[in-house]
Amino acid sequence: MRKIACLMTSLSLGMALAAAAPAAAQEAAQAAAGPNLAPGTVVYDSEGAEIGPVSSEVGDNIVVMLGDKPVTLPKNAFGQSDKGPAITITRAQLTAAVDQAAAQTAAALDAAIQPGADILGANGSAVVGKVKLVEADGIVVATSSGDVKMPRHAFFLSPKGLATSFTAEQFAAAVAEATAPAAASEAVADADTETPDRSAN
C-alpha cells in the first residue's frame, strides 16, 4: 500500500508540475517581452505612487503624462511592479528632473533668440526669417514678405538651431495673413490721398 501511495503522490506531483509549466512559461514570456506600455496604461514610481498614463509610443521611447506635462522616457527605463509598469525613481525625483530640464531648455532658447538669428522651418530645411526684435509680448521676425510678430512659444531649438513650429509653407501663409490687413490699410490711405477734392466745384 505504501508503494501505491508513493506512486500516486509522484503521479500527482508530476501532473501538477506539468499543469504549472505552461503558466510558468507564459509568465516568463511576458517578463521577457517587458511590461505593458500600451497607451492609457498607468505607470507607477519606485514607491508604488501613480505617475500617470502612457500617452504614446515614439520609436524606442514612451511618452507618459506627468500631470499636464508629457515626459519622454526610454523603454528600458520601465520595469514591472505589483501594480503595473514602473520606473526606478520616485515621482518627486522625476518631477524635479523634468523641471530642471525645462529650465535648461528655456535658458538655451533665450540665448538663441537674438536679433539677427536665422529661423528655420519646422522641418529644418529652409530659413524662413530672421529675428528682428525681442519684445516682452513676442518676437518680431523679418521675412521677405514683411515683418511679423510671433509668440515665444512658437519657437524651439532644433539640432540645426533656432526653429519655428511652422513649416516653411505654413510660415509663409501666416506671414501673408498677418501682413494683409496692413497692406490693405496702406492701399486705402494711398487711394484717399490720390482722390481729388471735388468740394471746390
Question: Is 151 in the same domain as 121?
Answer: yes
How many structural domains comprise the chain? 2
Domain end (from 108, 134, 151): 108
Please classify residue 158 by burial: count the beta carbons closer than 10 Å to its beta carbon, then call 0-12 exposed, 13-18 middle and 19+ buried. Answer: middle
Is residue 147 situated within a structural domain? yes
- Burial of residue 132 (number of CB atoms within 10 Å: 0-12, 13-18, 19+): middle
Does one domain contain both 100 and 118?
Answer: no
Q: Are residues 95 and 138 in the same domain?
A: no
Q: Which long-range contacts (CB under 8 A, 24 or more apart) does 87-93 make?
A: 87/43, 87/44, 87/45, 87/46, 87/51, 88/46, 89/45, 89/46, 90/45, 90/46, 90/47, 90/49, 91/45, 91/47, 91/49, 91/50, 91/51, 91/66
pLDDT at 92: 97
pLDDT tens digits along 90-141: 999 999 999 999 999 999 999 999 999 999 988 887 899 999 999 989 999 9
What pLDDT is stored for residue 129 in this prediction? 92
Domain co-membership, 138 together with 167: yes
**133-168 tens-digit pLDDT:** 999 899 999 988 888 899 999 999 999 999 998 887
- What's the whole-model pTM score? 0.61
| Same domain as 187, residue 150 | yes
142 within a domain of the structure (yes/no): yes
Of 200 and 53, the structure prediction assigns the larger pLDDT to: 53
Q: In this structure, are 125 and 186 located in the same domain?
A: yes
Q: Which of 60, 78, 108 is the last residue of a domain?
A: 108
pLDDT reported for residue 172: 80
Instruction: Give SS3 for 22.
Output: helix
Q: Which domain holds residue 122?
A: 113-192
